[in-house]
Every structure is written in structure tokens, then in C-alpha cells.
Amino acid sequence: MTQDYYQYPRHLVAVDCIIFGFDGENLKILLVERNFEPKMGEWSLMGGFIGDNETSDEAAQRVLNTLTGLENIYLEQLNCYTEIHREPTARIMSISYYALINIEKNIQINEKYSAKWFDLQNFPTLIFDHNEMVKDAVLRLRRRASTRPIGFELLSEKFTMKDLQNLYEAIFNEQYDKRNFISKINALDILIKTEEKDMTSSKKGSYLYRFDEDKYKKKLAEGFMFKI
Amino acid sequence: MTQDYYQYPRHLVAVDCIIFGFDGENLKILLVERNFEPKMGEWSLMGGFIGDNETSDEAAQRVLNTLTGLENIYLEQLNCYTEIHREPTARIMSISYYALINIEKNIQINEKYSAKWFDLQNFPTLIFDHNEMVKDAVLRLRRRASTRPIGFELLSEKFTMKDLQNLYEAIFNEQYDKRNFISKINALDILIKTEEKDMTSSKKGSYLYRFDEDKYKKKLAEGFMFKI
DNA sequence: GCAAAAGTGTTACCCGTACACCCATGC
DNA sequence: GCATGGGTGTACGGGTAACACTTTTGC
């Protein structure tokens, strides 16, 4: 006996991307203005349907690449939303992904889409269940950021301690003591202090650091746990 | 301009359930022997296709109900697996769910399915990507168990401290000091100590406890965080 | 009376947190 | 020389982890 697949319904399945960025002070989210019905003109997450010859991960990368031109973006699958009437015109399941991108690298946003960075503390109401998706994504971002060194995806290759602290303060929406934060980071021992200084923020200048990915991986293999 | 949904492919979407149980000593997983091709006779997770008029959550509950007769099972969505050739005969996406059930309550497993409880430390190789699903589910179970009082789903309504400790030792695959464990649990202050004793395990007998869900919810609302 | 599991407190160490002053430089 | 942000060390307290003996009772 072989199972007959023709008796089972088939579904439209999309991906929707929650794209996070960081401008040095605040967490940002990249939204697009819909240029088709339904809900044309309203703000939404960037999304697209999953094709026959791509996985959902690939679909999400494709969607992001179409919008930003970037490749190999940090991307993680979140949830699958399957409410029957989550979209009014058809039953569409959607797998949400969150992406972390460095705003500075992201020079050219495809003009075909009216996309805009919004402050995560203050962005418009989105279509369908996209607000729920964003809420879930923020929670996941916080969880991940506390146990994995994903914050560096949001920064440039070189950054100051102040940048890093600002980033974590934005992610967790909390203020930290400078001395405690720095000694915590130094205790992790996964940064390289360069000889260079960032002179834009002060007269003294502040040292630039890089994330030492090789060292991190080595320590991981030895049982090290990132924790912040 | 309206988007034309007919141009997009439709997909078979299934749910697969990782069903955890606890026998007082070890974590168990409920597996079924496939009675249809492909891979007939091999062990797999219990699954089923998502219908047109049900959400994935509902499909997972339906699948579990079909197998065990139980209703309102603790269930959480895990991941969506979308590799194109994850099943050999057709492209099928699968949303995995993990379920926690009390083995003792689960008196009648549907005889239509050859289902069997296996020790989580020692169960057969499963079909397709089901082993990966189980691995992911165990990790999620550990994360959840450390921050939510989900362990009680796996125990009977009344349980001894020893039961609880055995459960957490099984989940985290670690040994704990009895005194430290008990004082940690007592500090949480979310259990009710009953007058009854379980006399089966010793001559002295050990007190039975119940999870105080109302108290837990009240404390949650006041900012309490479960942590173990 | 003895075997077998239940139940119970104290101490030491570590980590997290609070906290304030000097440094380097451009203007 | 002064204003601005950068960089550094210590002390205290709370919580976690290590640790052993007494109690109960059925046989």
C-alpha cells in the first residue's frame, strides 16, 4: 500500500522577513509599502512565496537579496503562521524569518520597493499578522543575543566598546554600567583589540575591536558558552 | 493591481509530532511503525497532512488525538522543515510539534497504529529527517524546561520530590544534589504539599505535592520568573 | 535491629552589581 | 585650561554548590 498524495490539499506557503538593523543608537526594522492589493499602500514585512525548487531558507535569502542586493545574510527561521484567515484573499501559510543586517553595508535598497527603516520603538501598524511576527521576532532576538554572539552581525567589522554597549542596550532595552559591561565582554575573551581608534566620537578617540570568530569557534568546541 | 495567486505553486504540508513521556526514571518518546510505503515497517514520528480547514496546531492535536485518544495535550510548534527531497516520493514540508504527555493517563493507544514507547537514550533510527526533528525537540524541551514549569505536564497530578528530581535529571541528563534541588524548588514556592504520602517507594513514605497553577499565574503576573 | 529511602542546614566560594576618578586630546 | 568622552579597579552581598547525618518503618 502506498500513500496517495493526490487526496491531500496543497497550500500556498510564503516567507516573511523581519529585517533588523542598528544605526548606532537604536534598533531598526526595514519595512516595505505594499504596491499590490490587498492592503496596497500599507506597511508590511518583505515576503514572497516559496517556489517548487527552493527551500524556505532559500526563499528567504532570495527575498532579502531582491530587496537589498545583499548575499549571505544572517537569517534564522522563526515560526510558521497557519491561521486559515490570516490573509483575507486566500489561505496562505507563512514562515517567518528574522534577518540581521549591517545598515551601513546595505547601501542600495531596490527602488522597485518602497522600503524604509523604522525605529523599532515606533513603527506603523502592519498588515495581517505581521505585528505579531515582529513581536515574536524581537523576543527571539533577545533570547539569541543573550546566548550567541549574533550582535556582531548588526555592527560593522570594527566597532568600539561604546557601539557594542549601545547595541545590547537597544536589544534588551536596558541601561548597563560601562565598567561592568566592558569587564564582562573582556572576560568572554572573543574580541581582538586593534591598534586603530575611532576619532569621530571624541577627542581622545576610542579603540576599535573586531569579533574573533575563529577564537570563538575554538572556545565553543572546548565547551565555552557565550553569555551576556 | 491584485496579486494573482494562481501563478504560485502549492505545497503538501504535514505536521510531525515528537511525543515525550516520562516513566518515573527516563524520558520516553512515542514512535509508530509505518504501515504504508515508502519505508513501511520502519519507525517514524506520528504525523499527518494539514487540511484546508485546520491550522497546523489543530492538525497536530488531531493527529495526537487519533493516536492516543487524549485531548488538550500540551503542544508547542517547533520548526518547519522544507528541504525539497526530505521525503523521496513527493515534496512535503513538515511542521514539527513536540508534545508532553503523562504516560499513566495515556491508557489506550489506538491499535490501528503500532506505537511504542522508546527510551530517549536508545531508540531506533527513524525515517527521513525525523531523527533531526527529535534532536531539535530535545534541545527545545531543555530550554523550555529551564524557564517554564512544563515539567508537570509529564508527571501525574500528584508527585513526590524524588519524582520531580528524577524528571529534571532525565531532561537535562545531569545529577543533582537532593538537598539543593529541594530547596531550589521550595524557594520557587509554586507547589502544594499534600497530606498524602506515596508508600510504594519506601517504608517511611514520601509526601506528595501538586503544582499550584493559580499561584504560579499570580506570581507570573507580578513579575516572577520560573528558573531551574 | 537493620536495611532503605526520606528529610533536613550550614558553610564557602564565585559571580554580579554598585560605584568614582583620572586620562587624553582638540579647541 | 577646560570641556568631552574614554578608560580603569574594588568592595560588598546574594545565590549557587558542596557536603553528612538523623528519621521512619517494614521486614
Name which of B52, B55, B82 is nearest A83 (Cβ-Cβ): B55
- Whether A2 has a pLDDT exceeding 80, the answer reads no
What is the nearest nucleotide to A197, using C1' and CA? D6
* pLDDT one-digit tens code per residue, A74-106: 999 999 999 999 999 999 999 999 999 999 886
Q: 3-class DSSP state for residue A219? A: helix
Task: Give the residue from B94, B103, B104 showing the smallest Cα distance to B45.
Answer: B94
Calculate the angstrom distance between C1' of C20 and CA of B221. 38
* pLDDT one-digit tens code per residue, B116-125: 999 999 999 9
* pLDDT one-digit tens code per residue, A121-152: 999 999 999 999 999 999 999 999 999 999 99
Q: Assess contact for A38 and A88: CB atoms under 8 A.
A: yes
Residue A31, min C-alpha distance to chain B (Å): 19
Cell numbers representing residue B90 in the block: 513527493
> How far apart (Å, rounded) are the C-alpha atoms in residues A135 and A36?
25
> How far apart (Å, rounded) are the C-alpha atoms in residues A127 and A129?
6
| DSSP H or E stretch at residue B47 | strand B46-49
Residues of A with CB under 8 A from a CB of B: 1-3, 5, 8-13, 35-38, 40, 49-57, 77, 79-80, 82-84, 89-93, 95
Number of Cβ pairs < 8 A linking chain A and chain B: 90
Antiparallel, parallel or unpaired: β A43-44 and A92-100: unpaired
What is the nearest nucleotide to A202, using C1' and CA? D5
> How far apart (Å, rounded) are the C-alpha atoms in residues B130 and A5?
19
Which region holds residue A73: left if phi is over 0, alpha if psi is between -120 and 50, else beta?
beta
**Nucleotides of strand C under 7 angstroms from a protein beta carbon:** 3-10, 16-20, 23-26
Alpha helices in chain A (DSSP H): 56-68, 130-147, 161-172, 178-188, 213-221
Query: Residue B105's pLDDT is what?
Result: 81
Quickly tell me which residue has 535569502 as its cell. Answer: A61
CATH (residue range B10-147): 3.90.79.10
CATH topology of domain B155-221: Arc Repressor Mutant, subunit A (1.10.10)
Compute, in degrees rounded to 10, the torsion defined by CA atoms B169, B173, B175, B176. Answer: -50
Delimit the domains of chain B by residue range.
Answer: 10-147, 155-221
What class does CATH assign to A156-221?
mainly alpha
> How far apart (Å, rounded) are the C-alpha atoms in residues B146 and B197?
27
Q: Which residues from A are below 8 Å from B2, CB to CB?
A: 36-38, 89
CATH topology of domain A8-147: Nucleoside Triphosphate Pyrophosphohydrolase (3.90.79)
Query: Residue B5's pLDDT is what?
Result: 84
Query: Residue B104's pLDDT is what?
Result: 84
> How far apart (Å, rounded) are the C-alpha atoms in residues A82 and A86?
7
What residues of chain B score a pLDDT lower than 70?
1-3, 106-107
The answer to whether strand C lies under 7 Å from the CB of residue A180 is: yes
Over range A183-187, report the average pLDDT.
Answer: 96
- Whether A224 has a pLDDT exceeding 70, the answer reads yes
Quickly tell me which residue has 526595514 as its cell. Answer: A30
Name which of A55, A80, A82 is nearest B84 (Cβ-Cβ): A55
Query: Residue A108's pLDDT is what?
Result: 82
Q: Which residues from A are below 8 Å from B8, CB to CB?
A: 12, 49, 51
Distances in Å between the Cα of A168 and the Cα atoms of A98, A100, A135, A177, B46 are 17, 14, 18, 12, 41
